[in-house]
Amino acid sequence: MKQNMSLLDRCLPHPFVSVIVAVSWLMLNHSAELFDFVVAIILGFIIPKMIQPFIVNTPNIHWRLAVELFFIVVWDICISNIRVAKQVLGPTKDLQPKWFRVPLDTDHEHVNSLLAMIITTTPGTVSAGIDQERGDILVHALSSDDPEAEIQEIKARYEYRLLAIFSVQQGESSS
């Protein structure tokens, strides 16, 4: 452990985790009483301190870009829900399920894992797995007329933003 860490760094080794823990506690209790706020603050200090040895490397990210991507993904999830509902409730003969591979521009583990997660959480698509050897993600689309356009949209809307969030150059690895 570093000797020159400030008191704040020693008390709050992972401030983001502290906030998540405290907010989660309040949400799980469905309460805004003083006792629950006190417990949330205490847990926000204790739990990140306990797990500090297990969090080896926290990446530096560009928060503004991460927040922008968050809202893009939420928007896409909403739109995709409507589109999938129309597809599922419509004639099944109009569905054109497709498997396709999205080539990855990096082998950075955070970028690729988050990209696979975003693909899976967006209704109508599911990532079946990341193939590090081939350098791609296998994706299943509920209905796609043009898999190449789907690939380009995934790369433009998500992958390039993830690369920018983590300051990763195309072709760069996470090691």
| pLDDT values of the chain reduced to their tens digit, one per residue, 175 residues | 455 667 666 677 778 788 888 999 999 988 888 999 999 999 988 888 888 777 766 677 888 999 999 999 999 999 999 999 998 898 888 889 999 999 999 988 889 999 999 999 999 888 888 988 889 999 999 999 999 999 999 999 999 999 999 998 876 665 5
Give pTM, 2 decimals: 0.71
Residue 147 phi, psi (nearest 5): -60, -35
- Determine the 3-state secondary structure of 151 from DSSP: helix
Burial 134-150 (b: 16+ CB within 10 A, else e): ebbbbbbbbbbeebeeb
Token representation of residue 120 = 């899976």
